[in-house]
């Protein structure tokens, strides 16, 4: 595994989704994502883990040690069931569920 930082320029959601796919991204861990971008990203087979906050090294460490994204990493104001509800809706394809 390796870690690479890539800046995505301001561009339409379709271009961003295509770029993530070209980069070989399999999982997108993010704080927030728009509905149009999430649908496009998920349609490219990229799993989305939304509503995450925290220092990058700690978030990646938690993910790599089993994908545990507990309350320490949840954005303020996001209820514990929000991720589950999100998966069941418009983000479903990106979650393998």
User: What's the confidence (pLDDT) of residue 8?
Assistant: 84
> Does 82 score more than 90 pLDDT?
no
CA 80 → CA 23, 29, 47, 51, 93, distances in Å? Answer: 31, 17, 19, 10, 21
Domain boundaries, the chain: 14-95
Is-contact 73 59, C-beta < 8 A?
yes
pTM, entire model: 0.76
19-57 confidence digits (pLDDT tens): 999 999 999 998 888 888 999 999 999 999 888 889 989
Q: How would residue 9 be classed by pLDDT, with cut points 50, 70 and 90?
A: confident
């Amino acid at each position: 595994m390796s870690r690479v930082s890539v800046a995505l320029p301001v561009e339409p959601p379709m271009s961003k989704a295509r770029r993530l796919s070209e980069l070989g991204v399999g999982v997108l861990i993010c704080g927030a994502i728009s509905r149009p971008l999430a649908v496009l990203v998920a349609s490219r087979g990229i799993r989305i883990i939304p509503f995450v906050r925290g220092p990058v090294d700690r978030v990646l460490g938690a993910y790599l040690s089993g994908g545990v994204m507990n309350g320490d990493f949840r954005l303020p104001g996001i209820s514990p069931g929000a991720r589950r509800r999100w998966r069941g809706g418009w983000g479903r394809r990106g979650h393998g569920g």
